[in-house]
């Protein structure tokens, strides 16, 4: 492209110069030989043209050489890959931590809602239950199917008395249920705030507490 443009420019300029000096000029490739009698402005113009072509060619050749040497990991592309490799582990750590925290919040909301369901059930079974703790636990378990029921711990306080429990069972303690008195149900559930085998809260426990009055 440069050669064609240079040739066209040389022919046009050669014709202009020939018309002024009354004789032909000589062109060789991209460099034109200017007669000594040609005035200074024309010679300066041709000198700038030759310098521009030489400078552009050297620039292109230098860029090609740099590309061959740098290869895939050179230049801006290489910098981008290195920066991404450094940032990716930190980004994954943050995203995983957000997911772990979100799961803990979801479990807390589920446990609180299920505990309310269990406490409301307990206030209605005063005359029919023989194991108020286990019946309350069953109601909570059914209301929270996505929680591990084996990890739910329920404590029931009836009329100010917290009976001895075997697991989540307290058979025979229904005598503590009295109409109009409060019953308090407390439930706990373990939470895990772990990210890539790192547990940031190993003793984390979710808990909820609800108090109702017996019918």
pLDDT band at 25 (very low <50, low <70, confident <90, very high): very low
- Among 208, 211, 212, 204, residue whose Cα is nearest residue 109: 208
Lowest mean pLDDT among 86-100, 133-147, 195-209: 195-209
210, 177 Cβ separation under 8 angstroms: no
Distance CA 62, CA 214 (A): 89
Model-level pTM?
0.61
207, 108 Cβ separation under 8 angstroms: no
Residue that wins the pLDDT comparison between 10 and 214: 214
Q: Where are the beta strands (DSSP E) in the chain?
A: 26-28, 31-33, 153-158, 182-190, 194-195, 198-199, 205-213
Q: What is the pLDDT of residues 176-201, one digit of tens each?
A: 998 999 999 999 999 888 777 777 77
Mean pLDDT, residues 112-121 taken together = 95
Question: Helix crossing, 75-122 with 132-143: angle to 10°?
Answer: 140
DSSP β-bridge partners for residue 183: 158, 212
pLDDT band at 202 (very low <50, low <70, confident <90, very high): confident
State yes or no: pLDDT of 30 exceeds 90: no
Most confident of the following: 66-80, 141-155, 193-207: 141-155
Question: Helix crossing, 40-70 with 75-122: angle to 10°?
Answer: 50
In the chain, where are the structural domains located? 2-73, 76-213
199, 97 Cβ separation under 8 angstroms: no
DSSP β-bridge partners for residue 182: 213
- What does the pLDDT read at residue 201? 73
């Amino acid at each position: 492209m440069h050669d064609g443009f240079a040739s066209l420019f040389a022919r046009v300029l050669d014709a202009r110069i020939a018309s002024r000096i009354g004789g032909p000029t000589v062109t060789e490739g991209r460099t034109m030989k200017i007669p000594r009698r040609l005035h200074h402005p024309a010679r300066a113009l041709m000198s700038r043209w030759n310098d521009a072509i030489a400078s552009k060619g050297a620039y292109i050749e230098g860029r090609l050489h740099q590309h061959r040497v740098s290869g895939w990991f050179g230049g801006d592309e290489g910098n981008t890959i290195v920066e991404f490799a450094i940032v990716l582990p930190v980004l994954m750590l943050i995203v995983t931590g957000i997911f772990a925290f979100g799961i803990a919040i979801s479990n807390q909301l589920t446990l609180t809602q299920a505990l309310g369901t269990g406490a409301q059930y307990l206030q209605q079974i005063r005359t029919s239950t023989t194991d108020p703790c286990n019946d309350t636990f069953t109601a909570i378990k059914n209301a929270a199917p996505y929680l591990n029921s084996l990890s739910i711990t329920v404590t029931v306080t009836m009329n100010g008395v917290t009976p001895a429990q075997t697991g989540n069972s307290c058979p025979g303690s229904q005598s503590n249920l009295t109409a109009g008195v409060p019953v308090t149900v407390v439930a706990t559930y373990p939470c895990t705030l772990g990210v890539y085998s790192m547990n940031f809260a190993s003793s984390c426990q979710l808990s909820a507490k609800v108090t109702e009055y017996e019918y």
